[in-house]
Amino acid sequence: MDTLNFKAFYEMAHLIPKHNGKLAPFYLDGGYVQAVDMKFETYPNSELKNKLLLSNRVKFFGKMPDQSSFLVFDGNNLDTATEQPESPDYIVLPDDWYHYALFEFIDGSIKEPS
């Protein structure tokens, strides 16, 4: 993994995981993620991509890889949950959503989209 410099971090369209208003890094690939750029613009052209790019407040969730939890964005906050949202207002991300995303870990390393 590479190290992300401050300027690149500041300019990326990142979401910061929070729980009850406090920073809440989540576990992924052997480390704790402190920021995510979902990179929806890199999804294959589809109706899903168009819905996700419609607004920066669109609600979505996706199954975490190799875990029984979900990454959930409620339009304001990014968090993890043990159950998927019941509301039809949420867009379900594809199973491989994390392959498109860029993750910044607490130690400053990054995982680029694969």
Angstrom distances, CA of residue 99 to CA of 42, 76, 82, 103? 10, 23, 21, 10
Range of the domain at 65: 2-111
**pTM score above 0.85:** no
SS3 state at 10? helix
pLDDT band at 11 (very low <50, low <70, confident <90, very high): very low
Phi, psi of 103 (to 5 degrees): -115, 135
pLDDT higher than 80, residue 71? yes
**Domain total for the chain?**
1
SS3 state at 34? strand
Predicted pLDDT of residue 55: 81
